[in-house]
Structure 1
Amino acid sequence: MVFTEHPLRRGLVREMHMRRFAAVPAPCEIVQMVWVISEEQRAQEDRMLRSAPDGMDFAIDAESRHVSSSTNSGSLFIWEQHTEASTITAIIEPQARTGQQRLVDWMENWPGGVVRATRIFVEPSETDAERKLDDMAFSRDDLVSCHINESVRLWSDFELHEGYGRTLIAAGTAPPRDLGRIVQRLQELGNYRNMALLGFPLVREYGPRLDRLERQLAEYAQTLDDEVDSDDEALLDRLTRLSSEMAVIRVETGFRLGATRAYADIAADRLEKLGIQPIKGFQSLTDFTERRLLPAVRTCESFEARLNGLSERADGVIALLNTRIDTRIKAQNRDLLSSMESSLGIQLRLQHLIEGLSVIAATYYAVGLVAYLMKGADAFGDGFGADFAVALLVFPVMLAIYLFVRHQRVRILKTRDNNNSRANRGTRETKRAEKR
């Protein structure tokens, strides 16, 4: 190749050819089981495939998701791996019935849990199939019968007979390849239907918990509305625990509910492609499937919608409560700032009073020092008049000290204002940068 190949190309090509079903001859019997298998059981499944009976030889590697092989007795075995399950199928023609039981016993020991197991009996014509109806032991009240893709007819009561569901099919004019595709769609319809229904018991299990959470949320919302002076912190704690429980439920049910939607969509697609044609006097496959699958799927959808809606309402209540708490804190901060402002005003007036007293005290001591100097000078002079000079110096000294104290106070306040201006300018620049 001269072109550069995408690393996923060959895997995509394999994926397009992976789901091929073998041709189905008439008459034959098809045994199929769908096993739900955990990741821990995949290694055991791999060992199971490598110990296959009747000379089956599988080419299995790490990327194998679909393998098939013929047995020594002439049966065909097909294994297909899905996301959370595996499907194993045996197509047994009349001449291969001697080794049938050994093959089926091996299939019944597969790791995991069976979610669907069926036996399909294929006959060439409706006349041949009707001869076997009594042997099928179908329940007449629950019997489903209809035509599929015009020529193929189906009978089943979808009950369990010795652990297996039973289906009788008349091939009609459908050739083996076409019949194989029809049987594949029919089986996928039932398999995906059962896989979709796995979400229904989970919804029934968690439904009462969701009812309780809805009642609690309504109670908390009413408390928020009625009790203005309630303990908001305690209410917020209860709402947080409620939201946490809802988050746990969402995690525990999210995958299953999502899988239910996907499986139900695939089942609906397979049902449409089967081209069901009802037969008078019997319920059709469409009636049976829709009557049982749709209510369960819609219940799961309703549960998921309730859970999402409850989470949104809880978030709304928490947001309202947070708003009220923030408003209350802001009001408390405002009152605190007002109180601090009043205190600062009183402190400022006291400071001015102290400054005035300080001027008087400083004047007293300064004049006293000058008086001592004057008295000393008077002692050496001819009667300079020290007392008169001291009296004259009192007011100039007091004015000089007052001007000095005022100058220092103005300088300190100016420094504080400059610092505040720089801080406010930095805050505005930060906000503009955040907006950009």
Structure 2
Amino acid sequence: MSELDDLLEATPAALPFAEHPLRQAILAEVHARPFVPIHGEWQILQYAFMVDQDQKHAERQALSMFTGEHSDEASEHYLHHAFEGYSLRWEQHSEFSTYAIEKPLKAALSDDWTISSSLFAEGKLSLPGELIAAVQLTVKTAASPLSEDLFEEFDAASLSVSEVIEGRATLVTDFRANEDGIVSFLLLDHGLSPLELGATVRRVLELETYKTLSLLGLYEARKQQVIVSRIESELVQITSQLRSSGSAKPQSLAQNEELLSDLSSLAADLEASAMESLFRFGATRAYSDIVRRRLETLGEASVSGYDMIGRFLNRRLAPAMQTCRAIEERQANLSRKLTRAVGLLRARVDVELERQNRDLLSSMDQRAKFQLRLQQTVEGLSIAAISYYVISLIGYALKGAKTLGSPIDPTVGMAASVPLVVGVLWYFLRKLKAAH
């Protein structure tokens, strides 16, 4: 026996490792929405509702109470429950939930049972949100060649027919909503296995749902187009003012600051607009990619005399997706232009501020020179005034000494003390000024 065999025998059934907290959830996610095998003729009616994050938990609790099933971590976003005569399949996605009722075709044709009349109208389930898509798929067993009477219920102007799954099924639709607001599909089974039929049914339902969701981006693009066009127009006006002010008399600092405030306001509006449409445009790209992948998986082939489903969708989806991409590009380009304009105007404001600072410094320098001259004048006057008082005191002293018999004449003594007093005062004031 090899060392590898010894190691395998020694390894217990449960791995003796610390497990990542999300490992089991990831393993369960691969099987979260399994294909349900279908055999025979069926009618499936599916509604898709936009659901907020706050509504998701309440929606799951209501379904658990309705079906009597309690969800675990592996199935909290998916439920498939069989009732008497029909089954309910519920799926919760990032921003919408789908409710699909599956009934045998004979039972479905014998009554007018619908999701809305039997689940929501009777109060068994509360409406989770706003309806965004409704699709009815009828599965029939039919042999080739096809007869045109199978297509009588569809609008001939938009009728699309494709062979799918290597020609072993035919898919028919006109993408038009009937009086009940439901888009009808017809799937003719030419020999699919139950699992293949279940997978095809799932993909057809997703095709209509994701097609509708992807087109939400078109209307967001139209909404953002108005905002982007307004910002572009205002930016042109501001840049025109910048150009005219550069070639003619320079604008004042206040005018430049006003233009800078206007540009900053436009930049804020553009960023808010871009953030508002960021999720929808991203979701549109994802939904459009899912539609493309579902069509690739179905493996369409043309039916003589009819338009293909994929070709019909591409004629309508491709311009919508291009519009969304164009608006995103305009937002990005406009953001760069606004950044350059703000930088240019900010540089102009900085230059104007530097010019004002230079003038202010020059004015302060001139004022300092005046103050120095004034100070020098005051110093001279101060020396003269102090000298006058000192010499006066000396004169009083000499007069008193004369009275006591001093031979020095007071007038001569005062005159002789003038140079000495002035020199000493000048010397001490210079020393004091140097010390300060």
1:202 and 2:214 are equivalent in the alignment: no
Shifted more, 181-190 versus 322-331: the winner is 181-190
The correspondence for 1:32, drawn from 46, 52, 58, is 46
2:265 corresponds to which residue? Answer: 241
The correspondence for 2:251, drawn from 223, 229, 238, is 229
Q: Please give the residue correspondences for 1:45-64 in structure 2 after superposition, counting only pairs within 5 Å.
A: 45-46=59-60, 48-50=62-64, 52=66, 56-60=67-71, 64=76
Structure-1 separation of matches of 2:148 and 2:232: 57
Structure-2 separation of matches of 1:117 and 1:388: 126
The correspondence for 1:361, drawn from 382, 385, 394, is 385
Please, what is the CA RMSD of the aligned residues?
2.5
1:12 and 2:26 are equivalent in the alignment: yes
Compared with structure 1, are the counterparts of its residues 299 and 131 closer, same or farther at alpha carbon in structure 2 (3 Å cutoff)?
closer
The correspondence for 1:145, drawn from 161, 164, 167, is 161
Q: Please give the residue correspondences for 1:283-294 in structure 2 after superposition, counting only pairs within 5 Å.
A: 283-294=307-318
Q: Deviations over 1:302-324 (max 9, x none)?
A: 11221232233223222222221
Contact kept, 8 Å, 1:119 with 1:165, in 2: the verdict is yes
1:154 and 2:171 are equivalent in the alignment: yes
Aligned to 1:45, what secondary structure does the other structure show? helix
Q: Please give the residue correspondences for 1:98-247 in structure 2 after superposition, counting only pairs within 5 Å.
A: 101=113, 105-107=117-119, 109=121, 110-127=127-144, 130=147, 133-134=150-151, 136-150=152-166, 151-162=168-179, 163-227=181-245, 228-229=250-251, 231-247=255-271
Deviation (angstroms), 1:193: 1.6
Deviation (angstroms), 1:149: 2.4
Contact kept, 8 Å, 1:33 with 1:117, in 2: the verdict is yes
1:392 corresponds to which residue? Answer: 416
Aligned to 1:111, what secondary structure does the other structure show? coil
Partner AA of 1:124 in structure 2: T
1:81 corresponds to which residue? Answer: 92
Structure-2 separation of matches of 1:82 and 1:331: 61
Q: Please give the residue correspondences for 1:240-319 in structure 2 after superposition, counting only pairs within 5 Å.
A: 240-319=264-343
TM-score (norm 2): 0.85
Partner AA of 1:204 in structure 2: R
**Structure 2: 5+ residue runs without aligned partners?**
1-13, 122-126
Contact kept, 8 Å, 2:105 with 2:138, in 1: the verdict is no
Q: Deviations over 1:288-340 (max 9, x none)?
A: 12111111011011112212322332232222222212211211111111011
Aligned to 1:159, what secondary structure does the other structure show? strand
Contact kept, 8 Å, 2:143 with 2:190, in 1: the verdict is yes
Report sequence identity in percent: 31
Contact kept, 8 Å, 1:193 with 1:264, in 2: the verdict is yes
The correspondence for 2:102, drawn from 57, 66, 91, is 91
Q: Deviations over 1:362-382 (max 9, x none)?
A: 112112212222222232234
Partner AA of 1:114 in structure 2: L
**Structure 1: 5+ residue runs without aligned partners?**
413-436
2:10 corresponds to which residue? Answer: none
Contact kept, 8 Å, 1:120 with 1:168, in 2: the verdict is yes
2:354 corresponds to which residue? Answer: 330
Partner AA of 1:89 in structure 2: A
Q: Deviations over 1:8-65 (max 9, x none)?
A: 222222222112121122322222221112345446634652564xxx4433368711
The correspondence for 1:342, drawn from 366, 374, 378, is 366
Deviation (angstroms), 1:96: 4.7
Structure-2 separation of matches of 1:253 and 1:369: 93
Q: Deviations over 1:208-246 (max 9, x none)?
A: 332222111101110111123262233233333333332
Contact kept, 8 Å, 1:118 with 1:167, in 2: the verdict is yes
Contact kept, 8 Å, 1:139 with 1:157, in 2: the verdict is yes
TM-score (norm 1): 0.85
Q: Deviations over 1:177-225 (max 9, x none)?
A: 1222222223223221211101212222332332222111101110111
Structure-2 separation of matches of 1:129 and 1:411: 115
Shifted more, 291-300 versus 209-218: the winner is 209-218
Structure-2 separation of matches of 1:274 and 1:345: 91
1:65 and 2:82 are equivalent in the alignment: no
Contact kept, 8 Å, 1:59 with 1:67, in 2: the verdict is no
Compared with structure 1, are the counterparts of its residues 170 and 301 closer, same or farther at alpha carbon in structure 2 (3 Å cutoff)?
same
Aligned to 1:173, what secondary structure does the other structure show? coil
Structure-2 separation of matches of 1:152 and 1:37: 34
Contact kept, 8 Å, 1:147 with 1:276, in 2: the verdict is yes
The correspondence for 2:376, drawn from 352, 357, 362, is 352
Deviation (angstroms), 1:405: 0.9
Aligned to 1:70, what secondary structure does the other structure show? strand
Q: Please give the residue correspondences for 1:407-418 in structure 2 after superposition, counting only pairs within 5 Å.
A: 407-412=431-436
